[in-house]
Structure 1
Amino acid sequence: MSDHKVAYITGGTKGIGFGIAKVLLENGISVAFSGRKRDDVEKAERELKQYSENVLGIVSDVRSLESEEEAVKYTVEKFGRLDFVIANAGLGIFKPVDELTAEEWNDMIDTNLTGVFYTLKASVEELKKTEGYYITVSSLAGANFFENGTGYNASKFGVVGFTQAAMIDLRKHNIKSTVIMPGSVATNFNGNVPSEKDSWKIQPEDMGNLVLDILKMNPRVLPSKIEFRATKPA
């Protein structure tokens, strides 16, 4: 892609977000990404600069609208515009509902669902200017409930519903919107340490290539919801 396109990715210091950033940078898109921890942001920025110098790491917490507004402001100050927003930040805590604490529930809902709204709220006026693209990363858990998944399922079901309703509102402004629902991805999610045992899973760069394919689609078509899974689970 060309014409100086710019993306902002939440949760970009590792895993899916990092994989998306890497692929976009390799394909000529400038990338701003955010994470909660400064050390993680600085480390990821150093690593991503091997693919392109057009990268900006930002410390931001998606649970704060003000923080996301600042992140968008920094992105536009650095690159001059904003074309693509990928709301990827998320976390999972898996316990029986009678053992899940109110704090754990709130942390998942605030990060996984409210954070997706805050990221869009902070960026939508910039996306109107560029007739841009808004992508959220949900999960197959946004359509399939499972044991110990009450908080996570609730947040991810919510992301799917939110993004599809937002899609109807946003297309009136020529902004496209897609929710991606991946299955098992080889990341550090839920304490996993990626290794050869995860080779059957979706890899972070696979998510990056999917996002790139979505962004390259003809403007007349809109893949509003995509389920994305490993071909053959272990």
Structure 2
Amino acid sequence: MNKTIFITGASSGIGFALCMKMIRKGYNVVGIARRQERLEELNNHYSNHFLGLYGDVTNVESIQNAIEKGIERFGKIDILVNNAGIGILGPVEEAKLEDWNTMIDVNVKGVMNVTNLLLPQLIKNKGHIVTIDSIAAHEVYAGSAVYCASKFAARAFTTGLEKELRGKVRVTKISPGYVNTEFKDHLNNKEIQKNLKSSFENGLNPDSIADAIYFAINQDENIAINEIMIRPFGNA
């Protein structure tokens, strides 16, 4: 039976690129996103190997529903990719508490929610957890205090998983620098958006991150790739 991979934030950017790569490689793919309509084309064209579903990582019921439907369709889930994330950047003195809470809910609690609900499947199948954090999980930037805090937290949580689940589930953290995705269009703060525009546009292709994930999950049984950091050459 083919392996099944569960990808959050599957409707765009890294998540969408990963869905396409894994389908081409013969995996069964469960892709979830809040914008389910963006997954319908994949549902229509790759129905034998792809199941695109509504899923909000901050909503436990929607995640549980997606997991159950994925297992019903493909029999099991072997790999989790925690990809969904959000960045709302700007000076702290201008920030809305609601935006801070949104980043914590998605980037930290979201990773924990999906991981917790899928862990029984992943342990049963001696599976793999991949968390896409960020270079922002290693460095703190002005205008990104809470975003960086959320990524540091996701990285710490995933490091803890790796230590506790050795021999049961492989765990990998992948920390990209600038990636040319829709993320740059959702920064809210116009000054920061303008300053970072060229960095994102000259950043990594989402396919490159998908390649790194594929590399990490396709090692020999006695190998675990625990961490990968990827930066654009000559860029942050």
Q: Check the 8 A contact 2:204/2:232 in 1, yes or no.
A: yes
Deviations 1:150-173 (A, max 9, x none): 11101101111010001112225x
TM-fit CA distance, 1:40: 2.5
Q: Check the 8 A contact 2:8/2:83 in 1, yes or no.
A: yes
Deviations 1:160-205 (A, max 9, x none): 1010001112225x1001110000111111307xx99966421111
Counting matched residue pairs gives: 227
TM-fit CA distance, 1:209: 1.1
Residue 67 of structure 2, aligned match among 63, 72, 75 = 72
1:191 lines up with 2:185 in the alignment: yes
For 1:198 and 1:158, locate their aligned partners in 2 and report how far apart those are by CA, in whole Å: 23
SS in 2 for 1:171: coil
SS in 1 for 2:91: coil
Alignment of 1:3-22 (within 5 A): 3-22=1-20
Deviations 1:128-168 (A, max 9, x none): 12100000000000111001001110110111101000111
SS in 2 for 1:98: helix
Q: 1:151 to 1:196 in 2, by over 3 A?
A: closer
Q: Check the 8 A contact 2:8/2:33 in 1, yes or no.
A: yes
Q: 1:159 to 1:99 in 2, by over 3 A?
A: same
Q: 1:182 to 1:197 in 2, by over 3 A?
A: closer
Q: 1:45 to 1:14 in 2, by over 3 A?
A: farther
1:100 lines up with 2:95 in the alignment: yes
TM-fit CA distance, 1:41: 3.2
Deviations 1:55-75 (A, max 9, x none): 010101000222211111111
TM-score by length of 1: 0.90
**Residue of structure 2 equivalent to 1:137:** 132
Unaligned runs of 5+ residues in structure 2 are 187-196
For 2:181 and 2:41, locate their aligned partners in 1 and report how far apart those are by CA, in whole Å: 17
Query: Mean Cα displacement is larger for which, 175-184 or 61-70?
Result: 61-70
Structural RMSD (CA): 2.2
Identical amino acids, percent of aligned pairs? 30
Residue 176 of structure 1, aligned match among 160, 170, 176 = 170
TM-score by length of 2: 0.90
